[in-house]
Structure 1
Amino acid sequence: MTRKLALLGSAFCLVVSAGAACADDLPVRKAGLWELKMVRTGSAMPDMTMQHCTDETVDKEMNNNVSPMAKQICSKQDIKKTATGYVSDSECNVAGISTTSHAEITGDFNSAYTVKTSSHAQGGAAGAAGHDTAMTLEAKWLGACKPEQKPGDIVMPGGFKMNVRDMDKLKALLPK
């Protein structure tokens, strides 16, 4: 159960990262199947590669679902366009853990994009001294979704499948 919660938490973080890449002032990703590879440094969590079937409606729904949740847990969430892409800075608090994050988003949303995030967490399991992590999300478009997939489906390592339209179920499993 702990491993499943960790995977769900990682998926939630991935969805939030992808959701940040779908904010109103950012391009919507090309419809189809995206491979999302999450590489972390400074964390005990292993690298993860997932596939996400999406379309314009799902990307907009992700933003609409993630934005209110982010507003509840984040006191700061700024996204700005830069010469090379976008920059996002946030300050959030979940389950007694305060996290400050900086993300740089580059690439296009038709074939590939990268989100490089550095975070500092303090409190909770991070301890009083805090903990720094870095994550790179590498996304590449693979083509059309597979016939058995519907927009919103995410296939995680080990074949675990969820749909981002089921975010309420995921939120219920995360610690409060």
Structure 2
Amino acid sequence: MHRALAGALAVLILATGRADADPVPKRKPGLWEITTVAAGTGQTTVKACIGEDDDIATPSGVGDCSKPTAKRTGDTTIVNVVCTKPYGKETMSTAFTGDFSKRYHGILKITFDPPEGVKNMGVIIDGKYLGADCEGAQKP
């Protein structure tokens, strides 16, 4: 389960840019406060420095991942990514809303095949822009 949470957090913080039909949302570069809530881990808040090449959807270092596909409907963008790992695959689907320059909200569902103790995991994500200065935060 810890690998799954690490993968979910990587989706939020450490990623590179790609897109398909509709563009994947991009956060404004700078310092962001990102709060996640997930069963089993509770609430976690981190400060992360987001760079120009931000891609909020593709996890870094958690396996071989597909190019994200994005579909915008109204003010919601659904982004899907599939990552293949030695023990199986993770399918991540996130519904994003917000302006991505001041705030955003996401609801992430991860499906494991084969299941890693659980078949599905959900994470609620809230991001708040704190400013352009990234001093003391994780680098992109």
> Does TM, scored on the shorter chain, surpass 0.5?
yes
2:35 alignment counterpart: 37
| Unpaired segments ≥5 residues, structure 2 | none
Could you tell me which residue of structure 2 aligns to residue 80 of structure 1?
71
1:111-126 mapped onto 2 (5 Å cutoff) = 111-123=102-114, 126=116
Matched residues, percent identical? 23
- Structure 1 stretches of 5 or more lacking a match? 1-5, 155-162, 165-176
Q: 1:67 to 1:102 in 2, by over 3 A?
A: closer
- Residue 52 of structure 2 aligns to which amino acid in structure 1? D
* Larger fraction in helix: 1
TM (norm. structure 2) is: 0.72
Partner amino acid, structure 1, of 2:127: A
Secondary structure in 1 aligned to 2:10?
Answer: helix
| Structure ID, larger Rg | 1
Residues in 1 aligned to 2:68 and 2:131: alpha-carbon distance in whole angstroms:
32
The question of 1:14 aligning with 2:5 is answered: no
> Post-superposition shift, 1:49?
0.4
Q: Quick one: structure 1 residues 131 and 108, their matched pair in 2 at CA, closer, same or farther if it must change by over 3 Å?
A: same
Structure with the higher strand share, 1 or 2: 2
CA RMSD of aligned residues (A): 3.2
Matches within 5 A, 1:103-142: 103-123=94-114, 126-127=116-117, 130-142=118-130
| TM-score for both structures, normalised by structure 1 | 0.59
